[in-house]
Structure 1
Amino acid sequence: MTKRKAEKQAAIAGTRSVSWLSSDAAETYNDCLAPISAFAARKARLQQTQTQTVVTTETTTHTEPAGEPPSKKPRRSLEESQAQSTPKEDAKRTTKRGTVKVEKTQRADNGTAARETRRKKVEVEVEQRETEASSSEESEGEDAVEENAAGVIAVPAAEDGCEFPADNTMTVEFPLSKMRLNKSNIVYSDEDTLCVRIREKLSIVLIGHYDLWVKRGVVSLMGAKLHPSPRVYRVYAPSTHSLPVIKCVTGVDGGAEVEFKSCHSGITRLRDLSPLYQRVWNSGNTPADKLSLKMAGQDARRTFSVLHTSADDSLKRHLRPLHLEKQWSAAIKVLSQRAGRLQVLVCGPKASGKSTFGRYLLNHLLSPAPQTETNYANTDGVAFLDLDPGQPEFMPMGQVYLAHLRSPVFGPPFTHPSLNNEREGSIIRAHHIGATSPKEDPDHYVLAATNLMEQYRALLATYPQCPLIINYPGWIFGTGLEVATYLIRSLGLSDVVYMSEKGPMEVVEPLSQAASASRTPLTILPSQPTEFVSRSSAQLRSMQMQSYFHMAQPKGVSHPMWAEKPVFKNRPFRVRYAGENRGVHGVMTLGSQISPELLCESLEGAVVGVVAVEGPDALPSPHPDSTTTNVESQAADNDDDETSNADVDMDDVDGAKTNLTIPHLATLTTPTKESLPYISTGPGSSTPLHPSSSSTLGLAIVRSINPTTQTLDLVTPIAPSRLIQSLEQGHALVLVRGVLDNPNWAVAEEYYGARAEDRRVRRNIKRRKDAGDEDDGDAAQDQKVLGLLKERIRRAKEVPFMTVVEDHGRRRQEEVEQQRALWKLRKKAGIESEDEVGY
């Protein structure tokens, strides 16, 4: 008995390193094991309840960088999993069947040979597809994996180590909608429109992007309750995030009628410029779409698709619905009752759901119950103070800002990278941090946050019932905790929300003490992270940055549009950086100073912040020991002096700024050999501009520098009228070079765009040949066009900072698997040093 018990424990210890299997294999495998520890059992139950249908096989160690997902290992089949049984079970089989072990080994060898044959067959098929001249192109509402024969390798962005690819992840059917689309709940439909009837307490999930119109009843969507009105809402539901759920709250005759309509904003065409935007939107028609498009024809495509389960997706992506924790819903209801008195700070560890909670609270505040059925209008809106420069909501990375929202927002950050529509909302004031983490310069970060809070108090004079939501980053340990407690004590908040019930106590206790000292209620909510995502944080930042530079707000159009042309093909803004009529008055760097000899090289191709210097107080002094400078610095921070300046005529103020700012700035600049006005404040590091007298207008990419004409070519989505207005007000424009990620996506856009155009032309040629509509003249013209495209692709490969690897075999197969890979989000339970914290 003792011997069998020891063998049993040894078998358990030997097999305990085996990771999670499929659901059927796991049941068989667990039956062969003795009772495991309570911790392991709780972990297994927790994973089964959270994912239900997602099965992962995690490696014991993972030391590869998280810049790009590594290739996946072969997935263990059910037969292989069952073959690894315990010695006890093998002994039983040997006793009963005698030679079963030899037969089992033979079957395993045959299975291995069969799998190797299938693998080689897949490689041959990949090589054959690569040697073909064309591949099928994705239509407006359809995504597929790009079948390129080459891969683009760029320098990966630095990751924080809290995200890594989840190997061997298999997705199976997962419920999404609580109602199945059928003839009884379809009110009407055509090739662009679908109107459905949703019964009370039922929900429907769509993927893609669409315009939503509530005709009857009340529905909830991402925290907002939408009532019947003429208002049409734009909804973005990509596969990179959990899909929004549309639920009937109150119905007329037991249900609500909602109309969905296709919209063509151009955002789907970004997939032709970047592989990060591939496999994001809806692909081939789902069973529900085929039912609703019966009368529209086989070629009909919408920009959205209805999904009942994740198995309806033809691309077999990891799709999950966006549900809200019950404790979150209760907290949102309590906070929304404070109305205009609400000033809440949302903080917590990384990947705890802070942004999701803030977005739900924002939408809930912007859509309260109407006083009547038709004439409700939200006049004061909601202020959103975003202090997370790594993953901002309404601006690209590297910024902290105050936004004034007037309409609910339905979509992830890369669908609204800026606010240019007065109807939807606007940016009140923004400051350029120049980094994805506040730890680079905590003092400047605190000054920027304090200045934005002062701007909110000034906004209350016009909108007295405007609540405030503050989004704090995941920088919650070490210095970040000190900054958070300082903000809680000094900003006069009404509530603080901490998004983690697991602590740690060394964070919760200081937050509780700061909240008690300021008499601010502290609410602790459970985190609701997404365990698996299809894009890492660095990739999402690149997507948001690319969307920012491609988005525009045309006049007379209520929703933004995206241009599908590479950004470097747009006409740049050419500004002078020297002379009397110059547009750029200075160039400065954040962090460690760059040698003047290397400034030109470091600026070309870099992302810079366009900062407007509103007064001389924003500039550091060239003589730090000067008594006059210290007096001026103290006067700039004195509220009494600011109050006295309010009585001065604005024309005189603008004239004073014009006369003082530019001359004072000239004393700080040192011309380089290219005559660039380099702002240097001393050896070592660079002092940033003071937030009280400076603000950022947006970001720009320095396309080129011409020392002969002393001009800069800038690519920027900032409206020219805004730049001119800032110069007319006497502001000096300064370009700030921080430590943001390099725009590798912009370098590769021309290559991907040329490849996409080549695929479109080849597909059209093939279609004409199949239809028999091509003659000799068309064939000659087609060959000419294909030759021009081939030359365009060749030139696109030769750009700097990019290497195109031609490989038609195993490497391409691994790249396809990487595009399908998921990312595992992991939070650290504790930290050893501040440097290990992920932001």
Structure 2
Amino acid sequence: MSKRTSDSKVKAPLSALAARRLRQQQQEQAESPNGASTPVAEAVSIHTKDTQTTAPTTPLKSRSPSAIPKDGIADASDADTPTPRQLSNFVQTGDNYVYNTQTSETVVKLRRGESLVIQGEYRVLVTSGGISICGAILETSASIDVIAPSTQALPVIECAPKSKKRKVDKAAARKDGEYDAIFTLRNTQSGLNDIGRICPRFDRIWKPPLTSTTVKSRASGSFTPILSATQVTPILTIPPSWQAPLTTLASPKQSPKVIFIIGGKSVGKSTFGRYLLNTLVTTNPQQSPVAYLDLDPGQPSFTPPCMLSLHKIASPVISPPFATFTSTEIVRQHHVGYISPREDPKYYLRCAADLMREYRRLTDEEGERMTLIVNTCGWIKGLGRELLQELVSVCEPTDIVGLGDVDGVFAEIIPGGGKSIKRHLLEAGGAGQAVGNTPGCQAFTPADLRMLQTIAYFHQCSNPDDNGPSFDFENHLTAIPPLLAAYKGPAKVIHGLTILDTTIQPDLFPTALNATIVSIKLINPTNTDHPTIQYLEDHDHETPYISANRFDGTSGMLPAEGTVTAGMAVVRGIDEENGELQLLTPMGDDEINGFLEDGWRVLVCRGRDEMPVYLMWDWRDGRVGRKNVNGRRGAGSGGEKMPYLDFVDGGEVTGKGAKEWKVRRNIMRRSQQRR
């Protein structure tokens, strides 16, 4: 199986605004005194596979727009060799990092105070002592799979804090001094390293920084230990002030707790929640699984965007959100159709309340004593503060953790002073920020990460061996046969179709649904109180279009109570004559047929989910950079067929989308006409 390299000429599509900025930037550089830009930095080493090779200093091309001098000329200081930043406090010797050719495993030994940062995918098995990673404490014989790309800060492996219960195998550890932790590393392959085949924007997320020093090894595989890097490379660390609250909240005393996390954007809410989750499931193995209520539809931790969800988690999770779809047991989820509660706060609250009722049912009816972690979105001002107040009333937390400047928020969202609620006000932490949030790194915006999460969701595949997540990026979605689901006739599979917050004529529904992301929702027909059941029975012989605000006036989505979101799908096409939808979904046909055999009613609901262009367009069919019939490089036949996209090839913007729009003046409002 061939793999693309980072030298591919294919670049991500640019917006028209970005294309104009690039042309302006090129013009400014052309007008500079020397006619060309000076190299931004010089490399001191290059990285190839698992070996670090010293090389003569050579210019590095800038990979970030922020690194390009505005005047086309670099400062004199840029010519100096940058100082490498230490990422791992680990000094390699002939004894503490050994590759076993027979078992294809690498044995690593740490002394207290040493740390090791590893990028890539790997399985770690502790053979002696204990280690900590992302809040998880792994004792002897414990193992875990780690997925660590550069889209998020890289996790750090350290010796676990001292414990009287933990013992070190001194016979195995004593050689050239005593080691406090010994573990093995093994290559793992989930398929995520091939995501660049579908979206070249994420082609380098598994590769270490270009100017990094790495541990020397004869092995070459799915992971790379990084010692230092000249390029800014964030690692996952937490503020020291977090440690005491994490210990207190993870204590089995006064359990189960309901821990409510609030804070603005990019203050570390998800990072704190992940650290707390991993601490709970590893330091108290005797207790029940941890429940995790994710109320952030814009940056969810375990689902595609636009979802609210409730999970049961029994083992630590050390993976980015786009790799965690099979890491938890989904108890219940709701597709709200927006990346923010701002668009429909009423429906958002109803979904959150329904998920909270499901948590109480698990704890009351099934007797599971699960601590609940509630992660909220970063909207804490205005209406967002009012939503937090409503959520506090719904969730009834025992503890509220506030990150950043939220001291004033506490006074407003806690009803009646909330003397029974423990408050934990912590400093904001940037530990969980994406690489793009750090100057000098490859820029990934929240929209980029949502795109990554959506693409990964639709390319996941079933794993019968249950050995962790599995993805397939060998074939594009457009090359995969879709599921055919009838929405008309006696053999119909889809019983209802609805569109978020939109009222349109029935004959326009196919156009509005085609080439969009939809949720697959289920309703139990025995739930006679559900308003959708009565509606479907009354309109059984009609086209199953359900207009917006049919039920409760909230977005036209189905009522949260009694509605189950089974998964997501892409409507690839619609056969109106035969009344069939062509669906692309990670859900198997046997799974959907199983719901039908059990009597569930299946409905398709379109929200405002962002459709990544790479889901519906295979850039490999029209490779940018190929020479056309005139011998010039251009977007090729594939690019010319994309009227809304433009491309950058060798500094030249090509494609139909590269041209600026011209405003036509023959049609205008009466107030705009000249008199």
Give the conservation status (yes or no) of the 8 Å contact 2:213–2:229: no
For 2:403, the equivalent position in structure 1 comes to 499
Quote the offset at 1:799 in angstroms.
5.3
CA, structure 1 residues 796+435, in 2 after alignment: closer, same or farther (shift >3 Å)?
Answer: same
Quote the offset at 1:483 in angstroms.
1.7
1:486 aligns with 2:355: no
Task: After superposition, give the CA deviation of every residue in 1:652-702 in whole Å (9 maximum; x if it has no partner).
Answer: x47x689x965532546896xxx5634454699743322111011111000
CA, structure 1 residues 390+661, in 2 after alignment: closer, same or farther (shift >3 Å)?
Answer: closer
1:751 aligns with 2:627: no
Quote the offset at 1:554 in angstroms.
1.8
Give the conservation status (yes or no) of the 8 Å contact 1:550–1:563: yes
5 Å matches for 1:277-292?
277-283=202-208, 291-292=216-217
Counterparts of 2:237 and 2:23 in 1: how far apart (Å)?
30
CA, structure 1 residues 67+576, in 2 after alignment: closer, same or farther (shift >3 Å)?
Answer: farther
Task: After superposition, give the CA deviation of every residue in 1:759-807 in whole Å (9 maximum; x if it has no partner).
Answer: 9xxxxxxxxxxxxxxxxxxxxxxxxxx99xxxxx966446556535474
Counterparts of 1:701 and 1:442 in 2: how far apart (Å)?
26
Structure 1's unaligned 5+ residue stretches are 1-63, 76-110, 123-137, 143-163, 370-376, 616-652, 760-785, 788-792, 813-839
Counterparts of 1:521 and 1:668 in 2: how far apart (Å)?
52
1:354 aligns with 2:354: no
1:443 aligns with 2:346: yes
1:305 aligned partner, one-letter code: T
1:233 aligned partner, one-letter code: I
For 1:409, the equivalent position in structure 2 comes to 317
1:527 aligns with 2:437: no
5 Å matches for 1:49-448?
113-114=33-34, 116-117=35-36, 166=66, 172-190=83-101, 192-229=104-141, 231-249=142-160, 250=162, 252=168, 253-283=178-208, 291-293=216-218, 301-311=220-230, 316=231, 318-338=232-252, 340-368=255-283, 380-416=288-324, 418-419=325-326, 424-448=327-351
RMSD: 3.7
CA, structure 1 residues 67+522, in 2 after alignment: closer, same or farther (shift >3 Å)?
Answer: farther
TM-score (norm 2): 0.77
CA, structure 1 residues 67+74, in 2 after alignment: closer, same or farther (shift >3 Å)?
Answer: closer
Give the conservation status (yes or no) of the 8 Å contact 2:647–2:653: no
Counterparts of 2:539 and 2:545 in 1: how far apart (Å)?
9
CA, structure 1 residues 570+68, in 2 after alignment: closer, same or farther (shift >3 Å)?
Answer: farther
Larger radius of gyration: 1
5 Å matches for 1:28-39?
none
Counterparts of 2:51 and 2:310 in 1: how far apart (Å)?
35
CA, structure 1 residues 560+439, in 2 after alignment: closer, same or farther (shift >3 Å)?
Answer: same
TM-score (norm 1): 0.63
Counterparts of 1:695 and 1:799 in 2: how far apart (Å)?
39
Counterparts of 2:192 and 2:108 in 1: how far apart (Å)?
26
After superposing the two structures, state which structure 1 stretch, 318-327 or 190-199, moved more: 190-199
Give the conservation status (yes or no) of the 8 Å contact 2:503–2:547: no
1:458 aligns with 2:361: yes
Quote the offset at 1:362 in angstroms.
0.5
Give the conservation status (yes or no) of the 8 Å contact 1:593–1:686: no
1:539 aligns with 2:448: yes
CA, structure 1 residues 670+390, in 2 after alignment: closer, same or farther (shift >3 Å)?
Answer: farther
For 2:75, the equivalent position in structure 1 comes to none
Quote the offset at 1:509 in angstroms.
2.6
Give the conservation status (yes or no) of the 8 Å contact 1:515–1:521: no
SS at match of 2:283: coil
Structure 2's unaligned 5+ residue stretches are 1-14, 41-47, 53-63, 70-77, 169-177, 630-634, 655-675
CA, structure 1 residues 197+537, in 2 after alignment: closer, same or farther (shift >3 Å)?
Answer: same
1:562 aligns with 2:463: no
For 2:666, the equivalent position in structure 1 comes to none
2:222 aligned partner, one-letter code: T
Counterparts of 2:280 and 2:20 in 1: how far apart (Å)?
39
Give the conservation status (yes or no) of the 8 Å contact 2:486–2:494: yes
2:272 aligned partner, one-letter code: F
CA, structure 1 residues 327+289, in 2 after alignment: closer, same or farther (shift >3 Å)?
Answer: closer
Q: Aligned pairs, how many?
A: 575
CA, structure 1 residues 518+455, in 2 after alignment: closer, same or farther (shift >3 Å)?
Answer: farther
Give the conservation status (yes or no) of the 8 Å contact 1:590–1:736: yes
For 1:550, the equivalent position in structure 2 comes to 459
Task: After superposition, give the CA deviation of every residue in 1:279-333 in whole Å (9 maximum; x if it has no partner).
Answer: 101259998657321xx6xxxx21111111123xxxx4x3121111111111111
Quote the offset at 1:65 in angstroms.
10
Task: After superposition, give the CA deviation of every residue in 1:550-584 in whole Å (9 maximum; x if it has no partner).
Answer: 11232123112111111121121101001112111
Counterparts of 2:603 and 2:33 in 1: how far apart (Å)?
65
Counterparts of 1:65 and 1:504 in 2: how far apart (Å)?
42
Give the conservation status (yes or no) of the 8 Å contact 2:498–2:556: no
5 Å matches for 1:10-25?
none
Give the conservation status (yes or no) of the 8 Å contact 2:312–2:331: yes
SS at match of 2:605: strand
Counterparts of 1:573 and 1:496 in 2: how far apart (Å)?
45
CA, structure 1 residues 66+487, in 2 after alignment: closer, same or farther (shift >3 Å)?
Answer: farther
Counterparts of 1:496 and 1:607 in 2: how far apart (Å)?
35
For 1:721, the equivalent position in structure 2 comes to 590
CA, structure 1 residues 287+737, in 2 after alignment: closer, same or farther (shift >3 Å)?
Answer: closer
For 1:734, the equivalent position in structure 2 comes to 603
CA, structure 1 residues 393+281, in 2 after alignment: closer, same or farther (shift >3 Å)?
Answer: same
Counterparts of 1:68 and 1:542 in 2: how far apart (Å)?
21
5 Å matches for 1:676-825?
677-681=545-549, 686-748=555-617, 750-752=618-620, 755=623, 796-797=638-639, 802-805=644-647, 807-811=649-653
Give the conservation status (yes or no) of the 8 Å contact 1:266–1:561: yes
Counterparts of 2:335 and 2:18 in 1: how far apart (Å)?
25
SS at match of 1:308: strand
Higher relative contact order (CA 8 A, sep 6+): 1
Give the conservation status (yes or no) of the 8 Å contact 2:152–2:320: yes
1:481 aligned partner, one-letter code: R
Give the conservation status (yes or no) of the 8 Å contact 1:236–1:410: yes
1:522 aligned partner, one-letter code: R
Determine what percentage of the aligned residue pairs are the same residue. 27
SS at match of 1:745: helix
Task: After superposition, give the CA deviation of every residue in 1:191-245 in whole Å (9 maximum; x if it has no partner).
Answer: 953211111121111111111111111100000001111x431111111111100
Give the conservation status (yes or no) of the 8 Å contact 1:211–1:261: yes
Task: After superposition, give the CA deviation of every residue in 1:43-91 in whole Å (9 maximum; x if it has no partner).
Answer: xxxxxxxxxxxxxxxxxxxxx999899659999xxxxxxxxxxxxxxxx
For 2:518, the equivalent position in structure 1 comes to 608
CA, structure 1 residues 669+65, in 2 after alignment: closer, same or farther (shift >3 Å)?
Answer: farther
Instruction: Tell me which protein shows more helix as a share of its residues.
Output: 1
Counterparts of 1:539 and 1:713 in 2: how far apart (Å)?
27
Counterparts of 1:173 and 1:140 in 2: how far apart (Å)?
18
After superposing the two structures, state which structure 1 stretch, 326-335 or 514-523, moved more: 514-523
1:310 aligned partner, one-letter code: A
Give the conservation status (yes or no) of the 8 Å contact 2:109–2:182: yes
Task: After superposition, give the CA deviation of every residue in 1:404-433 in whole Å (9 maximum; x if it has no partner).
Answer: 1111100110111x23xxxx4310111110
SS at match of 1:438: coil
Give the conservation status (yes or no) of the 8 Å contact 1:668–1:681: no
1:581 aligned partner, one-letter code: A
